[in-house]
Structure formats: C-alpha cells, structure tokens
Amino acid sequence: MAMANCLKILLLWAGIIVMAEDVSTTLPPRTSTNSSSAFSLPNSTSTPRTMTETAVISPDNQRTAPKPPLSTPTLTSNPPMPSTYSTSISAETQAPPPLECSFTVTLSNSGFNITMNKNFTTGNYIINIKEPGRPDTGHNYSIPFSNERSRHEIKHLKPCTEYEHDVAFNDAAGKKTPCTSQTNTTKTNQWMPGEIKNLVWNLQEHNVIHATCDPPNDLNGPRKHYIARLYSGGDDVPIKTLNQTECKFEFKDLSYSTKYKLKVTAFNGQNEGKPKGEAVSTSYDDKALIVRLVFFIMASVAFAVVLYKIYTPRLRKSRNDAEVDENAVIELTEIYANVA
C-alpha cells in the first residue's frame, strides 16, 4: 500500500514538472513561497499557486530528507499580451488627431468660391471641377489653404452651367483624403450678355424708324431678348421702349424732322448687355407739305376775296363822294360868277 502511494506521488510530480517546463518557455517564473502543505492545486479564481518542500516516505515508513522545493509559475486567467500588441497600442496613442476637412460653395460673378469650414486642417488641397458626364471639361487646382487663406475662387466658368466639384486634402506622402460638403454640384449664375453687333436703321416712312441688329457672341443666359429704347434730344428717359425676341424694331408715329437717339441691348433673362447707340432722325412729310401749301394758297385767295369785297364798296363810295364834291364846286363857281 505504501509502495502504491509512492508511485502515485512520483507520477504526480512528473506531471507537474512537465507542465512547469511548458509554461516556463512563454511566461516568466514567479517567486515561490513555502507552506506547510505538500502542494496546492489551482482553483477557479486563478490565485497564485506555489510548491513547497515535501517529505518523501520510503517503503519502510521512514521519513527521508526533504528534497529542494520546485517553483512553478503563477497561472492567471489573463496572460500577458505579446510584445506586438503593446507596440500597436503605443502607436495608436501617438496617432495624429482626426482630419477636419469640409467646405462650402458660394456663387460669384464669374464662377463660385470654395471656402473651407472652421477648424479645418491646414495644408495642400486638390480641387477638381467638371461638367457632369463630361470628363474632358475637368480642371484640377492645387491650393494651399491656411488660417489666413481659407477661400479660393474658381473663375471664368460657363454661365448657367452645372459643375461637379470635390476637394481632397493632400498630405506630405501624397495620400488624398476627401472632404465633405452639403452638395457636390453647383450651377453658375447668369452673367451679362455681350454687346450686339451691326446695328442698322432706316426710315420706312417719313416718321417711321426701322432698326435691325445681329446677336452678340455670348448671351450668357437661357433667354434671348432684345430691348430698344428711343430718346428725344438730350432726355435720359426714353419716349418709347420695345422688347422683342428678334433684333427687329419699328418705331411709328414719330415727329417729322426730329432728331432721336436709339439704344439697343441684349437681355438674357437676368442681365442686360452693354447698349449700342445710333443717332437717328425723321424727315419732312411731303404729303403734309403739299397739303399745307394748298391750304395756304386757298387761304390766300379767300383772304384776297374778302379784302376785295370789303374795300370795293368803300372805293365806290369814295368815288361818288368825289363826284358830288366836284359838282358842288362847279355850282359854287357858277354862282360866284353870276353874282360878280
């Protein structure tokens, strides 16, 4: 019976030693403490386990000298992490703060402005714009944004045209980080149309002015209208204004033999172009002149008739009075002669 117990103890010791050698290859050894018990078993709370000196009982029930104690590593439920994991943790703690990159788009006179929002990361940014579905119209702009310069204007774009735009932060290694925006498309404004060409005018009648012109090179808008204004003398307020979809105008019922100032502009629905002006004038009305001459002649004849009718009786009366006076003088002379 004693021999069997010894064999069990030896087998138990051999198993413990093998386990200790396997664990010692990965975990550092811990300092062991002496205890009055022969050995302690691991429990569910993973408390440190130690091995102390053990007396060996011989088959003849005689106690032999105790063997030196064996130290075993402390077993825990959470073993230490590998060195690679600790390195990654330190790298994460030293990582730079997250990139702040967002922008706003506002319209300008000839394009739109790209404005970086507050707390953005300063550095070099790449701005890309293009018309939807037309990669050949794309343009790239490399812009260094800073706290002093947080806005960039994209100029000389097409009017009334929709553009796609995106902004990306370009770091020192060439890595691009896209920035966010409320919208990725913007439509440009309508701009001032160009000046009309080849303004020509003529007199359809003596008091009717007809004018034509050619459209400008760029209307810069969806609508195509033309506005003609006619000024009299040095007035700043036009006496007549015409609006047509074609550059053809006719001013009627004007004054004869009068000078005017004609100004024509192109209109695209929002803005008017630069006006083009010409000095125009009406001519005499031949028919009216003939009528006036006839009227003057008739009035002159009528006036002569009236004068004749007025002065003829008076002339006759004056003649009769003259004859009476002459007869009276003769009679008086004869009377005087007879008396003498």
pLDDT of the chain along its 340 residues, tens only? 566 676 777 777 777 776 766 555 544 544 444 433 333 444 444 444 444 444 444 444 444 444 444 444 444 444 455 444 444 444 444 555 567 789 999 998 789 999 999 888 899 999 999 999 998 889 999 999 998 899 999 988 888 889 999 999 999 888 999 999 988 999 998 888 889 999 999 998 889 999 999 999 888 877 889 999 999 977 889 999 999 999 999 999 999 889 999 999 999 888 899 999 999 999 887 777 787 788 888 888 888 888 777 777 766 666 666 665 566 656 656 665 665 5
pLDDT given for residue 332 in this prediction: 58
pLDDT at 1: 57
Identify whether residues 154 and 112 lie together within a single domain.
yes
pLDDT of residue 339: 59
Q: Identify the domain containing residue 300 by its residue range.
A: 289-340
Q: Could you tell me which residues come within 8 angstroms of residue 23 by beta carbon, excluding any fewer than 6 positions away?
A: 72, 73, 75
Residue 29 belongs to some domain of the structure: yes
> Is 111 a member of any domain?
yes
Which of 156, 187, 218 is a domain's end point?
187
The answer to whether 168 and 178 are in contact (CB under 8 A) is: yes
Residues 126 and 86 in one domain: no
The per-residue pLDDT for 99 is 72
- Whether residue 98 lies inside any domain: the answer is no
Of 263, 281, 299, which residue sits at a domain end?
A: 281
Note the pLDDT of residue 32.
43
Asked whether residue 249 is domain-assigned, the answer is: yes
Same-domain status, 246 and 219? yes
CA distance 165 to 111: 12
pLDDT of residue 92: 46
Whether residues 203 and 275 fall in one domain: yes
The per-residue pLDDT for 331 is: 61
Give domain status of residue 34, yes or no.
Answer: yes
**Residue 205, domain member (yes or no):** yes
180 within domain boundaries: yes
Contact criterion met (CB below 8 Å) for 313 and 286: no
> Do residues 217 and 167 both lie within one domain?
no
DSSP letters, 156-191, are SPPTT-EEEEEEEEE-TT--EEEPB-S-SEEEPPP-
Residue closest to 161 by CA, chosen among 110, 114, 116: 110
Q: Based on the domain organization, do 265 and 332 belong to the same domain?
A: no
- Number of domains composing the chain: 4
339 CA to centre of own chain: 130
Q: What contacts 247, CB < 8 A, 6 or more positions away?
A: 196, 212, 213, 214, 215, 226, 264
User: Does 85 share its domain with 163?
Assistant: no
The residues, any chain, with a CB within 8 Å of residue 59's CB and separated by 6 or more, are 2, 3, 6
Cβ proximity of 54 and 36 under 8 Å: no
For residue 83, give the H/E element and its range.
Answer: helix 83-93
| Whether residues 112 and 174 fall in one domain | yes
| Residue 26 lies inside a defined structural domain of this protein | yes
157, 187, 217 - which closes a domain: 187
Q: What is the pLDDT of residue 24?
A: 55
> Are both 78 and 126 inside the same structural domain?
no
Q: Do 154 and 209 fall into the same domain? A: no
Let me know whether 115 and 183 are in one domain.
yes
CATH number for the domain that contains residue 112? 2.60.40.10
